[in-house]
Amino acid sequence: MPGVQLENVWAWLCRPDLWPTWYPNSSNVKIKNQTQTDLRLGTQFRWKTFGVTIDSTVLEFLQHERLAWDAHCNGVHAYHAWAMERRDGGVYVLTEETQNGWKAWLGSKVLPSRMQSWHQRWLAELEEVAKSGMPRAE
Per the prediction, the chain carries an average pLDDT of 92
What total of structural domains would you count in the chain? 1
- Which H or E run includes 93? strand 90-100
C-alpha dist (Å) from residue 12 to 4, 24, 30, 97: 12, 14, 16, 19
Alpha-carbon span 22 to 3, nearest angstrom: 19
136, part of any domain:
no
Confidence band (pLDDT; 50, 70, 90) for 103?
low
> Per residue in 14-71, pLDDT tens?
999 999 999 999 999 999 999 999 999 999 999 999 889 999 999 999 999 999 999 9
Does residue 83 form part of some domain? yes
What sign results for the dihedral spanned by CA atoms 6, 114, 99, 43?
positive
**138, part of any domain:** no
Q: Which domain holds residue 109?
A: 6-131
Distance of CA 54 to the CA centre of its chain: 12
